[in-house]
């Protein structure tokens, strides 16, 4: 996963985590009531065959395979073939599809701190090799680096910029801190890392250093008395978060082929629009302490800066600096290449060729391990393929096509999925019903999901069919305890993005830890099989129950005669986005006429009543043609929400109802064309997007009209 999900929740009770998780997910209250204990829903005979097939023993074997070989994007074709082979063994048709894309790989880097008195500090820049964790010592272990980072060097005084959002830079300017020509040191968390580097660059800074702060580790820290990995559940002090510095909120995919699939002979665009020009290097907290400490007493201290999560948990004052005469010298050398990447694609043809359910997970990892990100999800989808194989062996066929995807190069910027969607968008537009994504399938034992509104109901219903972690408690109850019944709006950060922005509904599921669970070493060498079997999911039970869940969800979507998608919930959810927009407008002195949007929502709501009535009529009359008509409306209506031309200055992002925030990259903004233009003071552009969004909702309403 590109994204640092709610891996470490900062609230303990978890019931009210909405604002509290690390990257500030935008939960829309689902309005679901929680009963004391939810009874398990019964299974059909076919569902029983599927869930009985799922075993934590085979999942542990798949996990072992994926976590003991180098599989950075574009480096392991045999792993793609192995994956397709497992699917074929279970009766799926499968092939490996390649694209030729721009990537870059690390060659060399250096970083040193020179105090004004001339003495120096030399950071480690690499993660410690641990005897207990064999893959940390592999000779081909992956160095710490940023994907798509710029080659270059910089030497200058440096400034702490908090989490590196535009507002952090605005605050520094307001305080009179000199930032131009300096190097930025920024904390991870909040916005997507590429946007931190982008903001530094746009503010005239010449290099960026990103560090992990233990304030993001919940209660499980060495300071609270926990031993560090591998001896205990706290963060290993040398752990470094690798990751892409692409400008995710502008567009994902191959930076050189925006809007079209990457072939060897494809025309290539300049990468400047979506990748930085200044070098950046990620470091551990143990390396960050002396660098931050060198700023203590210089510039403005962290408390006075008074910005969200500016002050972390390290023993420093989080002063801005710069410290006169104290400098950093850094260099970063990357090798730029055009290289093949490989998606594995499996298919079970349905009896009805014009409806398709797609299931996807990425396979590439930043490290040899990748036990949670992404290969917990990879092990789960191999197990899912086996479960469907049990039914196929009995001559079973689903009503709808099922397409299973193992993406490459997600980590650099959703590259494998974006290129594939760009290639198959005409067929997807005609037939895709839903896309089901699983990235970090298990980094702990608490399930969560984000989804488009029509999937909320089926997603929670299926959770009531799954017992959780070898107990009689339902997955629904575990999920409810963790999220308070909140279902996130999809922003970006994993492979659902290209689907959403072509008007295809999607869900992103996973399981993670709470603030009192072992710290997940995101994008670090310690996201390994050893960590997983000792801390993350020791018996592969979260893997096992997530596999049962995803299999049942896919089965229900692929086989139900009447598609179990609730269109009315779009009306409900959009009312929430609308009242957020009203609040946004009312919180400023600017005005904006959104009455056309109000009317469009009313129109959409009344059309949802029509389709519900038609659905009941189809069910009562058992009229197959009518059922197909309703199903096709449910399949198609979201295509209306996408607009040619996309959002202002980012044509890729076409969905006018939600998109990743321009300055967040992960977290969503609702009615983004309107909201972001309005907040930026571009009232005429906001008005233009009131019209476009209104039109989009009316197109969707027209599709469900009966």
Ligand X SMILES: *[C@@H]1O[C@H](CO)[C@@H](O)[C@H](O)[C@H]1NC(C)=O
Q: Is 70 in the site for ligand X (CB under 6 A)?
A: yes
Minimum distance from residue 614 beta carbon to Zn ion (Å) = 40
Partner that binds at residue 510, options ligand X, Zn ion, none, CB closer than 5 to 8 Å by kind? none
Residue closest to Zn ion, measured at CB: 1
Q: Is 672 in the site for ligand X (CB under 6 A)?
A: no
According to CB under 6 A, which one of 110, 114, 584, 706 is a site residue for ligand X?
110
DSSP secondary structure letter of residue 536: I
Sequential DSSP letters for 74-109: TS-HHHHHHHHHHHHHTT-EEEEEEEEEEEEEEEEE
DSSP-derived 3-state class of residue 704: helix
Minimum distance from residue 263 beta carbon to ligand X (Å) = 20
Minimum distance from residue 359 beta carbon to Zn ion (Å) = 15
Residues 211, 240: Cα–Cα separation, whole Å: 8
Q: Which is nearer to ligand X, 313 or 699 (CB)?
A: 313
Minimum distance from residue 439 beta carbon to Zn ion (Å) = 4
Catalytic site includes residue 410: yes
Pairing type for strands 27-29 and 486-488 reads antiparallel
Minimum distance from residue 148 beta carbon to ligand X (Å) = 19
Q: Is 527 in the site for Zn ion (CB under 5 A)?
A: no
DSSP secondary structure letter of residue 298: S
Partner that binds at residue 1, options ligand X, Zn ion, none, CB closer than 5 to 8 Å by kind? Zn ion
* Alpha helices for 464-540 (secondary structure H): 475-483, 497-500, 529-531
DSSP secondary structure letter of residue 232: S
Q: Is 47 in the site for Zn ion (CB under 5 A)?
A: no
Partner that binds at residue 71, options ligand X, Zn ion, none, CB closer than 5 to 8 Å by kind? ligand X
* Contact yes or no for 276/164 (Cβ under 8 A): no
Residues 281, 334: Cα–Cα separation, whole Å: 11
Q: Is 76 in the site for ligand X (CB under 6 A)?
A: yes
Partner that binds at residue 20, options Zn ion, ligand X, none, CB closer than 5 to 8 Å by kind? none
Of residues 165-204, which lie at the interface with ligand X (CB under 6 A)? none
What values do phi and psi take at 264, rounded to 5? -55, -40
Q: Which is nearer to ligand X, 250 or 433 (CB)?
A: 433
Smallest CA-to-CA distance from 565 within 503, 499, 619, 632 is with 632
Minimum distance from residue 84 beta carbon to Zn ion (Å) = 20
Sequential DSSP letters for 180-196: TTSEEEEESSSS-HHHH
* Contact yes or no for 504/520 (Cβ under 8 A): no
Could you tell me the CA-to-CA distances from 518 to 217, 256, 521 in Å, in that order? 9, 39, 9
- Pattern of binders to Zn ion over 357-386, x per CB under 5 A? ----------------xx------------
Tokens of 618: 């189809």
Could you identify the residue written with the tokens 């009503």?
399
Beta strands in 476-537, from DSSP E residues, in sequence order: 486-488, 505-512
Of residues 245-304, which lie at the interface with ligand X (CB under 6 A)? none
Of residues 432-451, which lie at the interface with Zn ion (CB under 5 A)? 439
- Pattern of binders to ligand X over 543-572, x per CB under 6 A? -----------------------x-xx--x
Smallest CA-to-CA distance from 463 within 477, 445, 452 is with 477
Q: Is 582 in the site for ligand X (CB under 6 A)?
A: yes
Looking at 355, 410, 411, 615, which residue is catalytic? 410
Partner that binds at residue 396, options Zn ion, ligand X, none, CB closer than 5 to 8 Å by kind? none
User: Measured in Å, how far apart are the chain's first and last C-alpha atoms?
Assistant: 40
Q: How many residues bind ligand X (CB under 6 A)?
A: 46
Residues 72, 341: Cα–Cα separation, whole Å: 10
Q: Of 32-40, 61-69, 655-663, 669-677, which segment contacts ligand X by CB under 6 A? A: 61-69
Smallest CA-to-CA distance from 177 within 289, 299, 81, 86 is with 299
Q: Which residues are catalytic?
A: 410
Q: Which residues bind ligand X (CB under 6 A)?
A: 12, 56-57, 60, 65-66, 68-71, 76, 78-79, 91-93, 107-108, 110, 115, 117, 119, 219, 306, 315, 333, 347-349, 353, 401, 457, 470-472, 515-516, 539-540, 566, 568-569, 572, 582, 586, 612
Q: Which residues bind Zn ion (CB under 5 A)?
A: 1, 373-374, 439
């Amino acid at each position: 996963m590109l994204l640092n999900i709610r891996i470490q929740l900062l609230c303990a009770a978890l019931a009210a985590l909405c604002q509290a998780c690390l990257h500030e997910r935008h939960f829309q209250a689902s309005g679901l009531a929680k009963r004391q204990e939810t009874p398990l829903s019964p299974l059909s005979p076919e569902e029983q065959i599927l869930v009985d097939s799922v075993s934590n023993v085979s999942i542990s074997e798949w996990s072992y395979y994926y976590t003991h070989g180098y599989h950075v994007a574009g480096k392991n074709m045999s792993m793609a073939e192995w994956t397709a082979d497992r699917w074929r063994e279970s009766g799926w048709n499968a092939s490996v599809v390649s694209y030729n894309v721009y990537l870059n790989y690390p060659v060399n880097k250096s970083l040193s701190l020179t105090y004004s008195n001339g003495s120096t500090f030399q950071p480690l820049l690499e993660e410690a090799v641990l005897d207990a964790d064999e893959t940390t010592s592999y000779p081909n272990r992956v160095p710490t680096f940023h994907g798509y980072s710029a080659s270059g060097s910089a030497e200058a005084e440096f400034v702490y910029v908090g989490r590196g959002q535009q507002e952090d830079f605005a605050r520094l300017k307001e305080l009179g801190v000199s930032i131009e020509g300096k190097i930025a040191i920024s904390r991870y968390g909040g916005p997507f890392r590429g946007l931190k580097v982008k903001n530094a660059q746009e503010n005239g800074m010449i290099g960026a250093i990103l560090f992990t702060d233990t304030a993001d580790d919940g209660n499980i820290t060495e300071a609270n008395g926990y031993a560090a990995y591998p001896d205990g559940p706290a963060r290993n002090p040398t752990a470094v978060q690798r990751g892409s510095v692409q400008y995710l909120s502008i567009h994902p995919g191959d930076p050189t082929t925006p809007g079209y699939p990457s072939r060897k002979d494809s025309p290539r665009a300049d990468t400047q629009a979506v990748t930085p020009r200044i070098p950046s290097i990620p470091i551990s907290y143990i390396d960050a302490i002396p660098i931050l400490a060198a700023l203590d007493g210089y510039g403005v201290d962290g408390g006075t800066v008074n910005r969200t999560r500016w002050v972390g948990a390290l023993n420093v004052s989080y002063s801005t600096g710069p410290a006169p005469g104290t400098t950093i010298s850094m260099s970063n050398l990357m090798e730029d290449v055009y290289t093949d990447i490989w998606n594995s694609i499996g298919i079970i043809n349905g009896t009805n060729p014009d409806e398709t359910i797609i299931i996807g997970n990425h396979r590439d990892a930043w490290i040899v391990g990748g036990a949670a990100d992404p290969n917990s999800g990879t092990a789960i989808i191999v197990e899912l393929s086996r479960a469907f194989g049990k039914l196929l062996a009995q001559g079973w066929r689903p009503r709808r096509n099922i397409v299973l995807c193992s993406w490459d190069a997600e980590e650099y910027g959703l590259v494998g999925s974006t290129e594939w969607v760009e290639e198959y968008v005409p067929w997807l537009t005609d037939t895709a019903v839903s896309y089901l994504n699983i990235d970090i399938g298990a980094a702990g034992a608490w399930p969560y999901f984000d989804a488009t509104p029509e999937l909320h109901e089926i997603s929670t219903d299926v959770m009531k069919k799954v017992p959780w972690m070898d107990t009689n408690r339902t997955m629904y109850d575990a999920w409810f305890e963790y999220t308070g019944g909140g279902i996130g709006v999809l922003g970006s950060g994993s492979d659902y993005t290209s689907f959403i922005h072509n008007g295809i509904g999607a869900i992103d599921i996973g399981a993670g830890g709470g603030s009192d669970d072992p710290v997940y070493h995101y994008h670090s060498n310690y996201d390994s099989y050893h960590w997983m079997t000792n801390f993350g999911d020791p018996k592969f039970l979260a893997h096992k129950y997530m596999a049962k869940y995803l299999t049942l969800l896919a089965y229900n979507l692929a086989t139900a005669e009447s598609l179990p998608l609730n269109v009315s919930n779009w009306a409900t959810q959009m009312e929430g986005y609308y009242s957020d927009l009203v609040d946004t407008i009312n919180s400023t002195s600017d005005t904006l006429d959104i009455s056309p949007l109000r009317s469009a929502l009313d129109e959409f709501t009344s059309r949802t009543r029509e389709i519900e009535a038609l659905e009941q009529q189809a069910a009562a009359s058992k009229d197959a043609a009518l059922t197909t008509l309703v199903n096709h409306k449910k399949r198609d209506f979201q295509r209306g929400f996408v607009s040619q031309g996309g959002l202002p200055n980012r044509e890729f992002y076409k969905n006018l109802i939600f998109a990743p925030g321009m300055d967040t990259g992960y977290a969503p903004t609702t009615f983004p064309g309107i909201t972001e233009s309005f907040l930026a003071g571009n009232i005429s552009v906001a008005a233009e997007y009131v019209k476009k969004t209104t039109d989009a909702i009316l197109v969707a309403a027209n599709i469900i009209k009966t």
